[in-house]
Structure 1
Amino acid sequence: MELLQPLMLWGAGAVVVPVIIHFWHQKKGKTLAWAATRWLREKDQQQQRGIRLDNLLLLLLRGLMVVLLAFLLSQPVLNGLTKSPAVQKIHLVQPDPLLADNFRFELESALKKGEKIYWITASTEPVKNLSERPDEGVFTTTALQSAINELSRNFTELNLYLVNDERLARAPFIRVPTAYRLHLLADSGSRLKSNYLELTAGKNVYVNRLNQLTTRPDLDKTVRFQAAPAHQGPIHVLLDYRQADEQQTVWAALNALSEVYGLDLQIQKKRTANDQYDWILTDREVAKPAARTLYVVSGKQKLPTVSNVVYTGEPLTPQTAELVKAGRLPEWLGELFMRHFRLNPNPYPLSRKEVDRLFVATAKPAADQPEKIRNGLFLVFVLLVGGERWIALRKNA
């Protein structure tokens, strides 16, 4: 037997309450003399010593009611009456070619056993062919958590196949079921090529070997770069705020970012119909976000549905945002800029301690508990209450 709320059993200690009340009602009253008292024999006037247990059945019923109520609140589960469910394994795989090749034997064996495999994407369709992989760039920790939540009722054991890099650390934590296995592939980044931006006046923006944002006329020869830049020309930025103080704050932060790293930011404070923007900072709702534009929406508290829309949850002013008050707004905007253009492709693996802290195991709600047992105990409790009331009314106790 297992108790889901074992602390509630302490309530059984309240059984002393009906016992105390029972004896309180039976305490000796005041003796009243009447005329014929003198004719009674002496032995009939001897006082009884000790404790009399009148209405013993009523006392037992009341005590049993208290104990049974505490037992019901502790939510008993009779595990011996239920069969353990068959283990159904589900495999969630990050759509990375190196990861899929590294665990190909495990994944192909799972397909042969009839176990379900899913790519970690917005779709929850099972995989039939491992060679048909979606775009690996769509992987986010938000998509991972959504996939786990979507499939949480369809498995008893979860197998996660992930690349161990800093992308996992972008989430504060990832909730997983209690029965899960983690298959990590540490990638040093040697197979990846770095992105870079080619701005005006022959300036190139990239991340050096120390993961520092650098602006130089030539590329670092010790770093492998893509054949073409991820962006050419100046960065077109639009500030579209309704409040003048917020617009001024964000404008000052962007100018500081541009001066420190030598970024060619062309900032506009008024939208024009034909201009295409690379970066839009606004406090207005984004109806149809462009795929290649980075949006920073302030004053909104929402979960992003696409990776290029970031919600701050509060207006970006010193009075409302701790980020601005602490002077970290330019740094934070720089991190968003690097992430959007993928200027930090040198992933570092998380330590074992960081991984253990990131994945939080939560017990799945037990929907298949033997409710009939608890319903039967509740029926007994109702019968005890009815019997106690019937006896108490008959004997006026």
Structure 2
Amino acid sequence: MELLNPLMLWGGLAIAIPIIIHFWHQKKGKVLAWAATQWLLEKNLQQSRGLRLDNILLLLLRCLLLLLLCFLLSKPVFDWSDAPSSSQKIHLVQPNKLIIDNYKFELQDALKKGEKIYWIQPVLTLAEDLGHVPQTDNFNPLFLQSCLNKLAQTIDKEDIALYLINSQNLAQVPKIFVPSAFNLLTIVDTSKNNLKPYLAFGNKKLFVNAANQLALQSESPNNNTYTGSPANNAPIEVLILNQNNAEKQTILASLKALEEVYKITLTADTEINKHKKYNWVFSDKPLSSKSEYDSESTLNIISNTDNIPANQLRYQKNTIQIPYGLNPQTSAAIFNGEFPEWLAETLIKHYDLNPVPTVLSNQQLQSIFTKSGAVKSHQENELARILLFAFIIILSIERYIAITKNA
């Protein structure tokens, strides 16, 4: 059994209300004037001690009504087809030769048993020849979910075996719902070198090391950790368009500190040079959509945006908007000397020097893949109707007893 809204069960604590009301009414006695009371002997008078449970059936019915209502609102779901599943499986395979080679024995054994094997494609395709792997571009979890949704319309009680490449692409969606019990078989594609990005300055490389720190090292023939094309292989060109001289000096000093600490090469201009393509642009005014210093890789840092009219601000790619001015009076980062550190973090993020891991852990995979509702929607509606009918019957009995006994 599964509860779709389990928090409603806390409403079961409300059964204390009819119990309290029941005993509260019993404590209240009615004074009746009776002239013959004086003839009663004191020895015949008996005191009632303890609590009397009058109308106990009515009390139980009211408590049962509250519990049944809470249970109904929690939306219980039962798996009516709880029979043991058959030994047959359905295999859903991502079209990839690496998967076929790694799980060749399991897939060939499935073909011998007559089990169905499907390729994960926009159109669910039955795999009859494992030697012919179809080409699928831009595999994503939406394709996988679409195949699982189509499979849910034909599946009976078979388990599902999922064969996938373990990659960060699977985390593009929060959940992937599998319509039956499933077994997840993944493999890491080590054929592609997970190259670490870096910035090149002459014969030196700036990168994020294993300690998650920005570091600079000289290039050596034995160092193959950082290979491929660098994110930037020239001095970082900076343009400062801030009109406030104090802000200009603050930015220049911070860039100088960044250059001295990490031994990188930065060139800063306070006027536009039409022969340059700038990597960073600082400004305290909105930038035009097309400018001689702008490019797709340019990082724009616009400060003091609180004083810029909203109709002049617009979303721009690679743009950071700072609401305050870059001076010690308005910025705590400037006042505490943390602006160079912020610039270093911005540099790492802009050039993607510390990318997210490309492989998911087993815990992450288990959190993404989950079994969908155990029953069909008509079964869930049938259960709700049964509970509602029982609630009405019990309510009718409770009202009948309450009216006849005037309780």
Bin the TM-score by the shorter chain: 0.5 to 0.7
CA deviation after TM superposition for structure 1 residue 373, in Å? 1.1
Deviation string 1:342-378 (CA, Å, 9 cap, x unpaired) is: xx99x9998xxx9357657155774956133124313
Question: C-alpha distance in 1, partners of 2:143/2:321?
Answer: 26
Give the alignment partner of residue 118 of structure 2, picking from 114, 136, 141.
114
Q: Which amino acid aligns with 1:267?
A: A
State the partner residue of 2:70: 70
Give the alignment partner of residue 184 of structure 1, picking from 163, 184, 188.
188
State the partner residue of 2:383: 373
Give the alignment partner of residue 367 of structure 2, picking from 341, 353, 361.
361
Deviation string 1:154-175 (CA, Å, 9 cap, x unpaired) is: 5387654246xxxx6xx9x995
Root-mean-square deviation (CA, aligned residues, Å) is 5.9
CA deviation after TM superposition for structure 1 residue 91, in Å? 6.1
User: Does the C-alpha gap of structure 1 residues 380 and 230 become closer, same or farther in structure 2, counting only changes over 3 Å?
Assistant: closer
Deviation string 1:29-82 (CA, Å, 9 cap, x unpaired) is: 3342136x799x99xx98797987665654343132122123224432211257
Aligned-residue identity in percent: 26
CA deviation after TM superposition for structure 1 residue 222, in Å? 2.5
CA deviation after TM superposition for structure 1 residue 7, in Å? 7.1
Question: C-alpha distance in 2, partners of 1:241/1:364?
Answer: 56
User: Does the C-alpha gap of structure 1 residues 23 and 333 become closer, same or farther in structure 2, counting only changes over 3 Å?
Assistant: closer
User: Does the C-alpha gap of structure 1 residues 126 and 249 become closer, same or farther in structure 2, counting only changes over 3 Å?
Assistant: farther
Deviates more, 1:65-74 or 1:229-238: 229-238
How many residue pairs match? The answer is: 343
> Matches of residues 194-233 of structure 1 in structure 2 within 5 Å?
197=200, 203-206=202-205, 213-214=215-216, 219-223=219-223, 233=234
Secondary structure of residue in 1 paired with 2:205? strand
Q: Which runs of 5+ in 1 are unaligned?
A: 94-99, 118-123, 136-143, 301-307
CA deviation after TM superposition for structure 1 residue 14, in Å? 4.6
Q: Which amino acid aligns with 2:299?
A: Y
Secondary structure of residue in 2 paired with 1:114? strand
Q: Which amino acid aligns with 1:237?
A: V
The question of 1:105 aligning with 2:114 is answered no
Q: Which amino acid aligns with 1:236?
A: E
The question of 1:328 aligning with 2:341 is answered yes
> Matches of residues 258-277 of structure 1 in structure 2 within 5 Å?
258-269=259-270, 275-277=276-278
User: Does the C-alpha gap of structure 1 residues 10 and 313 become closer, same or farther in structure 2, counting only changes over 3 Å?
Assistant: same
User: Does the C-alpha gap of structure 1 residues 243 and 8 become closer, same or farther in structure 2, counting only changes over 3 Å?
Assistant: farther
Preserved contact between residue 197 and residue 352 of structure 2 (Cα < 8 Å): no
CA deviation after TM superposition for structure 1 residue 337, in Å? 6.2
Secondary structure of residue in 1 paired with 2:299? strand
State the partner residue of 1:303: none
Preserved contact between residue 4 and residue 75 of structure 2 (Cα < 8 Å): yes
Question: C-alpha distance in 1, partners of 2:16/2:229?
Answer: 82
Question: C-alpha distance in 2, partners of 1:14/1:194?
Answer: 60
User: Does the C-alpha gap of structure 1 residues 47 and 239 become closer, same or farther in structure 2, counting only changes over 3 Å?
Assistant: same
User: Does the C-alpha gap of structure 1 residues 320 and 392 become closer, same or farther in structure 2, counting only changes over 3 Å?
Assistant: farther
CA deviation after TM superposition for structure 1 residue 239, in Å? 4.2
Secondary structure of residue in 2 paired with 1:339? coil
User: Does the C-alpha gap of structure 1 residues 177 and 395 become closer, same or farther in structure 2, counting only changes over 3 Å?
Assistant: same
Question: C-alpha distance in 2, partners of 1:259/1:10?
Answer: 61
State the partner residue of 1:305: none
Q: Which amino acid aligns with 1:309?
A: N
User: Does the C-alpha gap of structure 1 residues 271 and 52 become closer, same or farther in structure 2, counting only changes over 3 Å?
Assistant: same
Q: Which amino acid aligns with 1:380?
A: A
User: Does the C-alpha gap of structure 1 residues 160 and 297 become closer, same or farther in structure 2, counting only changes over 3 Å?
Assistant: farther
Secondary structure of residue in 2 paired with 1:80? coil
Secondary structure of residue in 2 paired with 1:237? strand
Question: C-alpha distance in 1, partners of 2:247/2:143?
Answer: 38
Preserved contact between residue 177 and residue 361 of structure 1 (Cα < 8 Å): no
State the partner residue of 1:237: 238
Preserved contact between residue 158 and residue 181 of structure 1 (Cα < 8 Å): yes
User: Does the C-alpha gap of structure 1 residues 60 and 102 become closer, same or farther in structure 2, counting only changes over 3 Å?
Assistant: closer
Question: C-alpha distance in 2, partners of 1:320/1:151?
Answer: 48
Q: Which amino acid aligns with 1:59?
A: L
Q: Which runs of 5+ in 2 are unaligned?
A: 111-115, 149-159, 306-316
Q: Which amino acid aligns with 2:390?
A: V
Deviation string 1:327-351 (CA, Å, 9 cap, x unpaired) is: 52243244246536xxx99x9998x
Preserved contact between residue 238 and residue 271 of structure 1 (Cα < 8 Å): yes
